[in-house]
């Protein structure tokens, strides 16, 4: 009766090689780098998803303030991977419709376009209503 665990097929021992500690270290370093890359991509993906969620939340929040025609371009930009442009378009649609918004909408527009849309391409601050 053998108490030893089965040897994995691709292991050094299964191939009849004596494992070199340096080779084992290299192997695990590669695995760690692979996992770090996966985690980084997941983190980037989750921050992108969070940003897109905030853009969609803003869009939903002002839904009742604009006509369907005013939101068609906004929705198209957001749905086709241009969320910052969509927020810019939303800001202009609100401005042109002379809609008064809560202060958080102005802050959200500035925050969601910061670093992606030049401030001079955005409308002036939207008129605010009391929160």
Distance between CA 103 and CA 107 in Å, rounded?
A: 7
Distance between CA 77 and CA 1 in Å, rounded?
A: 68
pTM of the model: 0.65
Distance between CA 112 and CA 84 in Å, rounded?
A: 7
Tell me the two tokens of residue 107: 């802050």
Tell me the pLDDT tens digit for each residue of 67-119: 888 789 999 999 998 999 999 999 999 999 888 888 899 999 999 999 888 88
Tell me the pLDDT tens digit for each residue of 35-48: 666 566 556 777 88
Q: Which residues of 4-42 are buried (b: 16+ CB within 10 A; e: fewer)?
A: eeeeeeeeeeeeeeeeeeeeeeeeeeeeeeeeeeeeeee
Mean pLDDT estimate for the chain:
79
């Amino acid at each position: 009766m053998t108490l030893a665990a089965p040897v994995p097929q691709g292991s050094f021992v299964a191939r009849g090689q004596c494992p070199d500690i340096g080779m084992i270290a290299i192997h695990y370093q590669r695995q760690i780098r692979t996992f770090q890359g996966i985690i980084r991509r997941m983190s980037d993906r989750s921050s992108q998803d969070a940003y897109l969620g905030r853009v969609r939340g803003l869009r939903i929040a002002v839904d009742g303030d604009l006509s369907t025609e005013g939101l068609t371009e906004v929705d198209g930009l957001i749905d086709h991977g241009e969320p910052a442009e969509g927020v810019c378009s939303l800001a202009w649609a609100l401005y042109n419709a002379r809609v008064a918004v809560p202060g958080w909408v102005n802050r959200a527009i500035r925050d969601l376009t910061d670093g992606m849309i030049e401030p001079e391409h955005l409308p002036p601050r939207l008129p605010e209503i009391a929160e």
